[in-house]
Structure 1
């Protein structure tokens, strides 16, 4: 039996070599892990969440651009007034939470506005100033850790960037305004550029019931030309290389976040991207240049986190903030500002429910339009009376040239004293009213959250009838108000379709069929729109039906109308109006051209 007297030379050498390899490997991976941890800590600093609870304000460790993050936790400083609650984060020295205290956000589970209304929260907004140092490297203030000093509703955030001191001073003013003063010292020794970029990344959170409707109203808004001009952009990109923007806002359906630089943003560009589903509606990115004075940034900014209430927006004099409320351009916006909104405010001051306010608004509009509507229905009655004569002309000239037949028909109308174009006037008048109301109901913040019957919010659709499947455009519900409005339009169409003269030319579409298709397409439009709009149009068309019945059976007497038409025939025809004359001349010219073409074709055949 062989004894083991210990390790031989080969074993000892192998052990030493293995130990050295093991220690070297441990040292290598320890250094690698330390570097990875430093990198990870730096990334965590940039992407730190707001989950840390608010701690008493303590001096935070100041970080240097070339050092790793030395602070163990990110602090939040709270500023609060009646309207706003803000949290300022020491990471980036930026506003991390914005809550509008007097409003609530939509909760799908409760089907009501009961959640806290948060514009900024959970890192959905990140902003900072981007500089280029003398080595060509770019750094951003949102990557720095600031040290806070709070004094009431004001907090000073201070950071050190390679010897340069950067201060952000936030002061919560009255209502919805936050003063944001930026000061630097020693920055000129660090940077080589005479400008900085303000970079803002913002994922807009949905706070309303109707996602598609809120997405449509979520967009860039901005003022320029010394606050005199306004523009908006709901597309993919926004480019303003020549204008100086006085303020830049990201507007939602009823709320807006606006940043206003003291001397404006230059060479502004932005990007927005639709988010199909989930918590957020759209992803925004904005970059605007700020000029440095002596390579230092000393400028006052202001943040505004506002509900889109017209009276409030107008109270900021000279800012042009009232343009944030999309009431329509030109005459449409004027109609809303000076007619529908004052009418709504007046009636709602009587203390009645919002749905009945809309009901009374509809009646007042109908009373105003009643003279025009009476003329329209009287014209319809006159056209019914002379319909046999029109049919006789059509039969008599059915084989004749279409132009000739049309001239004979127009002659019958002219002798009877019937102006066909007068029937277009009510329709033309109601087009701007329709579009004004289309803008009014989804944007009237006083209607937000107001319920009426089965509609829990008159600025969103009612979805009492839920579908077990999804239909394009209709989505997964049926709106009762939209269905009721569609039925009312169909009844009105049935009562008026008999007055429409069908085209006799071959290949022309049947106008009656088109008129019946229109109400059905209207259902697809209204089903996802504001229920207040559907309620208004239901009442409006129900009143139209009643008006037709009253006019036809109680006011207009077709025997008297027939006698009047016969009397008109005995008189000298009224001089043609400019439009009628122009139409007749165009028809005669077309007829003459057709005759000449026929002559040329006959000559070619010979």
Structure 2
């Protein structure tokens, strides 16, 4: 057997020669590629210089040197996006979503008619500021790509846009010779965007129009709807402006730093808000050679999740448990029902039925409790009359004794009410943000994500606006009927200055009308069905489940028996009342 003693001398020499040849080839091809790229940039710069020789480069779009004849427009298009690029600033001047329409059947544009502008701002060595938005570029189109080239001094700047699938536009920035102009190693990306309304409900869409951005390597997300945004310490992976159902987002592969922005509400007209964003990008060797990506997306959950860039957080489904309800309960449930070929309005109907069935044990207990409290109303009135002039605490104790003898636990009614609060807020988020409902009509509502306005006033009514939603009105009437049916067990205040709870219960549905009148009609339809089911349940319990005579007889029999041993909760409540009585008596003695 031969022993391996390692490499001999001839093998080492051969390995060294081979390594030198390999390294030589690498340097040769690297220099050759770099030289070819420089030559191409020089050719593009020469074309730009020839094109703009008679028209000096502008540093201000209002300068007389920039004329309509100097503005060139080029286009790219696929099934999803139709893009237009302008030679002024090398920007996207128009972005149209081909598969969607704005309200009224109009084309849906995110960028159009100079409502958006963006560019990179530099300081030259004399501290003068120049921005690519103010430069004239020369466009060339090749397949699904557009290259826009501009020259400022001895520097060449290129923007290369490539239209891709899934509403994506790659945006490469290349410079050569920029280092002869700047030396501070940074540039600012400035984006001004006046958002145009695309939906029927202005107030609702304005509420959902806001900054959205991700940081910490796409792991964290934040938004800002009302105030100035300021993220001086975070590196943003992407920054976007979202509307109710659509968003424009720019991603920086190397990130934006020292980000700040502001927003301003536009009270009326076709535009909703004006946004301004300013973020810093770092230069390598005072040259800007970085990759960016534009996304012009519908806020569809499956599409957003497919990017794996935390885009799904843009969809405002609510935080924590509320958002989880929408993501893992309501959205899958609606998608499942609609997949059966059911119309959107009926899908909401069956979704309501299923949710009610799931909650039926809890809801049944609440409705049964409400019905029983109405049955024992005479006994409660008897206690109130008997202890009319007694101490309020004593009267409360006797009232609780009646409930206890009848087997009614007042606190049991709190749990169902608490359960409904997160459901209400989740649905409040679900219906205005479910893009599958957008444009879906049902009866007299042309769009279930907006209000119906069959009844138009022709003038503004305080709190209501210029219309009355039939769905909101129907929902309010049903809630009023439900309130009348369940308010019989509410005690009237026995002390002066205490609010009348019955009056408050009747006021609530009226205020609900003002809230729902400008909200998504799908939400009003859901609550109409939900409360109609509640009424049916109460009627079934009253006429087919509860035996009022039996309950009364049981209460009278319990009066003759020795009182049952108090439970822990009843004992604690009694002790608290007694303690409160003692404190009240002490206070009265002090006053005397």
TM range (shorter): 0.7 to 0.9
Counterpart-to-counterpart distance in 1, 2:574 and 2:186: 67
Counterpart-to-counterpart distance in 2, 1:173 and 1:58: 31
Calculate the TM-score normalised by the size of structure 1.
Answer: 0.85
Q: Are residues 1:435 and 2:432 paired? A: no
CA contact (8 A) 2:374 2:489 kept: yes
Q: Are residues 1:94 and 2:91 paired? A: yes
CA gap of 1:70–1:473, structure 2 versus 1, over 3 A, is closer
Q: When the two structures are aligned, how many residues end up with a matched partner?
A: 538
Counterpart-to-counterpart distance in 1, 2:480 and 2:583: 42
Note the 1:354-503 alignment, pairs <5 A.
354-503=344-493
Counterpart-to-counterpart distance in 2, 1:206 and 1:360: 32
CA contact (8 A) 2:59 2:134 kept: no
How far off is 1:472 after superposition?
2.1
CA gap of 1:145–1:308, structure 2 versus 1, over 3 A, is same
Counterpart-to-counterpart distance in 2, 1:383 and 1:463: 40
Deviations 1:233-259 (A, max 9, x none): 111311111222111110000000001
Which consecutive residues of structure 2, in runs of 5 or more, have no partner in the other structure?
1-47
Q: Are residues 1:259 and 2:260 paired? A: no
Q: Are residues 1:224 and 2:215 paired? A: yes
How far off is 1:86 after superposition?
0.7
CA contact (8 A) 2:367 2:537 kept: no
Q: Are residues 1:330 and 2:320 paired? A: yes
Q: Which residue of 2 aligns with 1:76?
A: 73
Q: Which residue of 2 aligns with 1:205?
A: 196
Deviations 1:79-116 (A, max 9, x none): 11111111111110111110000001112xxxxxx111
Of 121, 125, 141 in structure 2, the residue corresponding to residue 130 of structure 1 is 121
Calculate the TM-score normalised by the size of structure 2.
Answer: 0.87
Q: Which residue of 2 aligns with 1:16?
A: none
How far off is 1:219 after superposition?
0.6
How far off is 1:76 after superposition?
1.3
Counterpart-to-counterpart distance in 2, 1:277 and 1:465: 22
For residue 457 of structure 1, give the secondary structure of its aligned residue in structure 2. coil
Note the 1:226-375 alignment, pairs <5 A.
226-317=217-308, 319-375=309-365
How far off is 1:505 after superposition?
1.7
For residue 414 of structure 1, give the secondary structure of its aligned residue in structure 2. helix
Counterpart-to-counterpart distance in 2, 1:161 and 1:567: 99
Note the 1:155-234 alignment, pairs <5 A.
155-234=146-225
CA gap of 1:208–1:304, structure 2 versus 1, over 3 A, is same
How far off is 1:582 after superposition?
4.9
CA gap of 1:471–1:395, structure 2 versus 1, over 3 A, is same
Which consecutive residues of structure 1, in runs of 5 or more, have no partner in the other structure?
1-56, 108-113
CA contact (8 A) 2:58 2:136 kept: no
Counterpart-to-counterpart distance in 1, 2:50 and 2:397: 91
How far off is 1:188 after superposition?
1.6
How far off is 1:394 after superposition?
2.1
How far off is 1:167 after superposition?
1.1
Deviations 1:467-488 (A, max 9, x none): 1211122111111111111111
Counterpart-to-counterpart distance in 1, 2:120 and 2:491: 67
Counterpart-to-counterpart distance in 2, 1:403 and 1:530: 46
Deviations 1:111-160 (A, max 9, x none): xxx11110000000000011111111111100001111211111111111
